[in-house]
């Protein structure tokens, strides 16, 4: 089998496992490139850390959504350990690209952290593949990915939800700021982006004159795309 056909076969295998077909296949493979495999640690296109950084914000948004509508949700829902366990159930460790001494690990010895970061990167990759639209990602996560894996979501669902709208708005703002900074500063390390993210969030709120409860309501009304555009544009308005 040629390398091209083998790569295509592996892509189809992963997409079947995660129940998602990428429009941009390169995003999938980038999400599986561990930092150790990069030739240049400063080139974010050579490893999955930037995607994982974005993916963690996407996951935070999904967890915020679920906590708003499902009572008694476990506090570690979609935590890194949970993501690592999820990746193992999907056998993703077979496809994660490692380098250096890290590459000498056997599949069973691959850490939950490495696998969990790859899963987080997949969430980020799908968000980008969906053109920064969170709702298809939510649909995929809760209706296609999690049910077969039987991820623990124990709790009593309520019609009106029990969550705090400010907390949901915080998750919305966190994702939009992370998205904006990742795109605006493609060469900055994740630690640097994390350091300026809080300030960016405050600036978005001040410039747009919106509050977190309003952000939550916009998200609930399926107006995330317009809200994202509005908050980002507010930073560029004199």
pLDDT digits (tens, 9 = 90+) for 145-196: 988 877 655 444 443 444 588 999 999 999 999 999 999 998 898 999 999 9
Report which secondary-structure segment, H or E, holds 55: helix 49-69
Report pLDDT for 45: 64
Residue 230: pLDDT band with limits 50, 70, 90: very high
Task: Report pLDDT digits (tens) over 50-100.
Answer: 999 999 999 999 989 988 887 666 656 677 778 888 999 999 989 998 876
Q: How many CA atoms lie within 13 A of 215 on its CB side?
A: 28
pLDDT greater than 70 at residue 39: no
Closest CA to 114 of 36, 187, 192, 55: 36
Mean pLDDT of 4-21: 83
pLDDT greater than 60 at residue 222: yes
Contact 66, 77 (CB under 8 A): yes
pLDDT greater than 70 at residue 219: yes
pLDDT greater than 90 at residue 138: yes
Residue 38: pLDDT band with limits 50, 70, 90: low
What's phi and psi for 194, nearest 5 deg?
Answer: -60, -35
Report pLDDT for 169: 96
Q: Torsion angle, CA of 63/64/66/71, rounded to 10 degrees?
A: 110
């Amino acid at each position: 089998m040629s390398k091209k056909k083998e790569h295509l076969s592996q892509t189809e295998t992963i997409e079947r496992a995660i129940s998602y077909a990428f429009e941009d296949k390169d995003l999938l493979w980038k999400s599986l490139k561990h930092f150790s495999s990069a030739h240049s640690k400063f080139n974010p296109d050579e490893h999955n850390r930037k995607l994982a950084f974005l993916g963690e914000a996407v996951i935070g948004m999904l967890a915020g959504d679920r906590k708003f509508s499902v009572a008694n949700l476990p506090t570690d829902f979609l935590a890194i350990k949970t993501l690592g366990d999820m990746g193992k159930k999907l056998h993703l460790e077979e496809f994660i690209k490692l380098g250096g001494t890290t590459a000498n690990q056997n599949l069973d010895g691959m850490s939950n952290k490495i696998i969990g970061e790859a899963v987080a990167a997949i969430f980020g990759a799908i968000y980008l593949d969906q053109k920064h639209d969170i709702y298809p990602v939510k649909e995929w996560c809760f209706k296609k990915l999690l049910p077969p894996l039987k991820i623990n979501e124990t709790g009593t669902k309520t019609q009106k939800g029990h969550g705090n709208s400010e907390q949901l708005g915080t998750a919305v703002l966190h994702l939009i700021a992370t998205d904006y900074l990742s795109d605006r500063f493609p060469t900055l390390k994740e630690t640097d982006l994390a350091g300026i993210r809080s300030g960016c969030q405050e600036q978005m709120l001040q410039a747009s004159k919106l509050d977190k409860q309003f952000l939550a309501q916009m998200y609930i009304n399926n107006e995330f795309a317009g809200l994202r555009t509005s908050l980002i544009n507010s930073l560029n308005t004199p």
